Structure 1
Amino acid sequence: MTSTNKPIVILGGGGKTGGRLAERLEKLGRNYRLASRSTTPAFDWENAGAWGEAIDGAGALYVTYYPDIGLPGGAEAVGELARLAASKGIQRVVLLSGRGEEAAQRGEANVQAAVQDWTILRASWFNQNFSESFLLDGVMTGELALPAGEIPEPFVDAEDIADVAVAVLTQPGHERQVYELTGPESLRFVEVADILSDHLKRNIRFVPVPLEPFLAELASMPLPDYVVPLMRMLFADVLDGRNAVVQDGVARVLGRAPRSFQEYVARTAETGVWDTGA
C-alpha cells in the first residue's frame, strides 16, 4: 500500500493496463504520474540513464516491461530498475508479469530481491488482444489464423487487471504476494471464434496453422524486430497447456469473480471497434 502522498508512477501509462489504472486512480483522487517515452520526463526501457529522473519522488511503481518481460533482456531490465528504485528509497513495486514464462519469473525474482514491498501480478493472455492488439485484424477479416491448436487459455480482462492493480497499490495486505490473474474459464481459440461470431452476427473462423510458416509470414512483414520472437514464445512455449488452469487471483484481491470473455465481447462490441461497415 502507498501510505504517503508521493505519486504512484505508472510505467507504460499508455498501455492496456497502465491507462486503465490511471483512470481509476484519477477517480479516487490519488496522486499518480505517467512515465513513458512521450512524457516529460520520459521513460524508455532502452535508455537506463534516464530512468532515475522518471521515477524520482515516487511512493510506488507500477511496472510493465515493453514489449514483454519474457523476452531477452526483460528480466534484467526490471531488476535494474527495482534496484534503482530501492536506492532512491522507493520500496513499493507492483510488477505485471506473465504466467508460465521462465524469463518473467527471473524478472520477478530480481524485483523480489531488490525491494521490500513487492507484489507480482501474473496475467493470462488479455481479452483486449482481440480489440486493441495483434488479434484485432483477424476479428475484422473473419479469420483467426493462428498456431494455437486445441490448447485452452483462461483469457483475462484488462479491466480486471487494472482493478487488481489499483487495489494492491492503495489497500494494505498485498505486500509480498503473487497473484495469478485469469478469467473464469479456459477457452480454446475455436470457442473464442464462436463467441465472437455469436455476438457480432458474422462468421469468425479459427484456422489452425503450423508455427513455422506463421512466423515466416510475420518475418516477411515490416514489423518491429521483437514481434517474431514474441510470437514464437507465446505460441511455441507459453501456449502449451501449462497455463490452462483457471486461478483465483482476481477473487482473492477483489472478492468477486473475474469478468468473462462473453462479457468482454458484449461490452466491446458496443464501442464499434469491430464494425466492418458491411
Structure 2
Amino acid sequence: MSNDTTLVLGATGKTGRRVVARLRLRGTPVRAASRSSRTRFDWTDPGGWDEALRGVAVAYVVAPGVPGPVHEFVARAEAAGVRRLVLLSGRGADTWGDSTFGLDMRSAEDAVRGSALEWTVLRASNFDQNFDEDVFHAPLVAGELALPADAVPEPFIDVDDVADAAAAVLTGTAGRHAGRIYELTGPRALTFGEAVELISRASGRPITYRRISPGEYAATLVEQGLSEDDAHHVAEMFVLMERGLIAATTDDLATVLGRAPRTFEDYVVRAAAAGAWRG
C-alpha cells in the first residue's frame, strides 16, 4: 500500500474538523480519526493505532490530555512509514517553566521533536472560538464571564486561522516547514474584559466581565462538572498567562499563510450574526 494519506487525529474536535474539511476541499486523501469517527482512534487504546496509521504519509496530532502516549504513537508512526508530523501545541510552551500547566503538550513536543521524522509544531494562543464553542460560552449567555485574568492581554487567534496554517503545513512541499516551531497569534492582544466588551456590543446584550481568583475559578469549574484535576489544570493556565510571557503577538501566521491573521472583531461579528450569544 502506498503511503499518500493524511491522518487527522481529533477529527471531530475544534481544529481537527476544520482541518479535515480543508484537506478534503484541496483533494488531499484524508483519514479522519477520533473516538467517534469511522476510523476510531483513542489515546487510551494503542491496539487501534496501527490500523489508523496504515498508508499514512503525514499526520496531524493533537496531544491527549495526559503526558506520555505521543512517544509510543511516534514510534508506531515511524514503523508505519509516516514521513511528516504536524503537532498542535500551546503558545510559548518552552517559556512555561515550572508551571504544572501543559505537561501533556510539552510531552507531545518532546516526542515529536525527538523523532526521526520531518516535524512541525504549531503553538497557538487561546482560540477566539473558546467564547462560543467552549467553556466561556455558557457564562457569556448568562450575562457574566468571571475568570482569573486581569490586565495582562492575550493575543487570541481565530481557530480558522490555525486550521488554515495546519492545512498549509500538512500539504506543503517536503522540507518547507521541517523543524519549524510556529507561534501563532492574532493581530493584537486583548484583555478578557476588552474581549467581553466587544462581544456585548456586537451581540446587543449586557454582558460583563469580573475578575476572580484561580481558586474561585477552579471551584466553579468543579461545580460545573469538571474533575478537580481538570479544573486545576484550566485555572493554572491563567496563572501562567498572568506572567505576561505569552502576551506578545507574532508574525508567524503571515509567514505560513502570506496574510495577516483575522481580527477578534471579525470573529465577534461572525459569531454574533450566527446567534452565538442569544439569551
- TM-score, normalised to structure 1, is 0.91
Partner residue in 2 for 1:55: 53
The Cα of 1:224 is off from its aligned counterpart by 4.7
Comparing 163-172 with 214-223, greater Cα deviation is found at 214-223
Paired position in structure 2 for 1:20: 18
The code of the aligned residue for 2:211 comes to P
Q: Distance in 2 between matches of 1:220 and 1:128?
A: 23
User: Where do 5+ consecutive residues of structure 2 fail to align?
Assistant: 97-102
* Deviation beyond 4 Å, 4+ runs, structure 1: none
Structure 2 Cα separation of the partners of residues 168 and 150 of structure 1: 34
Q: State whether structure 2 residue 195 is matched by structure 1 residue 192.
A: yes
CA RMSD of aligned residues (A): 1.7
Query: What letter matches 1:32 in structure 2?
Result: V
State the aligned residue count. Answer: 267
> In structure 1, what is the Cα distance between the partners aligned to 2:217 and 2:166?
34
Q: Structure 1 residue 223: deviation in Å?
A: 2.6
Deviation, structure 1 residue 225:
5.8
Give the 3 Å change call, closer, same or farther, for CA 211–229 of structure 1 in structure 2. Answer: closer
The answer for the alignment partner of 2:28 in structure 1 is 30
| Shift of residue 126, structure 1, vs aligned partner | 0.4
Q: Is the 8 A contact 2:214 2:236 kept in 1?
A: no
**1:154 and 1:239 mapped to 2: Cα distance?**
13
Match of 1:232 in 2: 235
Identity %: 40
Residue in 1 that maps onto 2:158: 157
- Given that 2:3 and 2:55 are in contact with CA atoms closer than 8 Å, whether structure 1 keeps it comes out as no
The residue correspondences of 1:163-182 to structure 2 (distance < 5 A) are 163-172=164-173, 173-182=176-185
Q: Deviations over 1:157-198 (max 9, x none)?
A: 100001001111112211211100000001001110111112
Task: Please name the residue that 1:132 is paired with.
Answer: 133
Instruction: Rate the CA distance shift 1:139–1:220 in 2: closer, same or farther, 3 A.
Output: closer
Preserved contact between residue 6 and residue 58 of structure 2 (Cα < 8 Å): yes
Contact 1:91/1:117 (<8 A) preserved? yes
Cα distance, 1:9 vs. partner? 0.6
- Of residues 94, 98, 104, the one that matches 2:90 is 98
SS in 2 for 1:233: helix
Structure 1 position 207 matched with structure 2 position 205 = no
2:92 alignment partner AA:
G
Q: Which residue of 2 aligns with 1:110?
A: 111
| Structure 1 position 116, deviation (Å) | 2.1
Kindly state the Cα deviation for residue 239 of structure 1 after the two structures are TM-superposed: 4.3
Following superposition, the deviation at residue 226 of structure 1 comes to 5.0
SS at match of 1:186: coil
**One-letter amino acid of the structure 2 residue matched with residue 141 of structure 1:** A
Q: Write the distance in 2 (CA, Å) between the matches of 1:81 and 1:146.
A: 35
Correspondence for 1:241: 244
Between the aligned partners of 1:140 and 1:221, the Cα distance in structure 2 is 15
User: Are the equivalent residues in 2 in contact too, given 1:83–1:115 (CA < 8 A)?
Assistant: no
Could you tell me how far apart the structure 2 residues matched to 1:229 and 1:48 are? 28
- Tell whether the 8 Å contact from 1:126 to 1:155 is kept in structure 2 after alignment: yes
Please give the secondary structure, in 1, of the residue aligned with 2:246: coil
- Is the 8 Å Cα contact of residues 119 and 178 (structure 2) preserved in structure 1? yes
Q: 1:85 to 1:94 in 2, by over 3 A?
A: same
Shift of 1:39: 2.3
Partners of 1:164 and 1:221 in 2: CA distance: 33
Unaligned runs of 5+ in 1: 68-72
Q: Aligned letter for 1:213?
A: E
Contact 2:58–2:83 under 8 Å retained in 1: yes
Deviates more, 1:115-124 or 1:41-50: 41-50
